Amino acid sequence: MKKATSMVKTADIKRVWHLLNCKDQTLGRLSTKIAGLLTGKGKVDYTPHMDMGDFVVVINAKDIKLTGNKLLHAVGGMLAKNKLQDPRMSRLKVYKSDIHGHSAQFKKEE
C-alpha cells in the first residue's frame, strides 16, 4: 500500500538561531552557507515553496575586508528571486564586531 506524502504546516516550522563568525572566512563560501541556512535546505522536511529557513546572526563582518552591504548583497544574490526572498533576508543580522543583541536567542542545549 502506498503512503500519502505529508506536507509541513506553517505552524510546524521550527526556526533555529545560528551564530556565524566571519573571522578568516571567504565571502563566497560564507554566503553560500548563509543562503542555505536562510532557505532551510539542510532540514529533513524541506519544501521549496515554503519559507522553512532559520535565523542567522553574522559577527565580525569587518574581518572579511568588505563592507556589510557587500555581505548582504552576496547572500541576496544566492537566494531565489521570488516572494520568499525578502522574509529570508529579514532574518539575516550582520554585525561588524562580535557584539550583538541576540544572545538571548542562543539557548544552551541541556
In this prediction, residues 70-97 reach a mean pLDDT of 91
pLDDT at 110: 52
- Grid coordinates of 46: 524541506
pLDDT confidence bin for 68, thresholds 50/70/90 = low
92-94 vs 17-21, strand pairing mode? unpaired
> For residue 2, what are the contacts with CB-CB under 8 A and spacing of at least 6?
none
pLDDT at 80: 92
> Taking the CB of residue 95, how many other CB atoms lie within 10 A of it?
17
pLDDT at 47: 86
- CATH of the structural domain 14-98, one choice from 2.40.100.10, 3.10.20.30, 3.90.1180.10, 3.40.50.10190: 3.90.1180.10
The span from the CA of 105 to the CA of 55, in Å, is 10
User: Which of 36, 44, 43 is closest to 80 using CA atoms?
Assistant: 36
pLDDT in tens, 19-61: 999 898 888 889 999 999 999 998 988 888 889 999 999 999 8
- Break the chain into its structural domains and give their ranges: 14-98
The count of C-alpha atoms lying within 13 angstroms of the C-alpha of 28, restricted to the half-sphere facing its C-beta, is 0
How much is the pTM?
Answer: 0.71
The span from the CA of 72 to the CA of 19, in Å, is 16
pLDDT at 67: 59
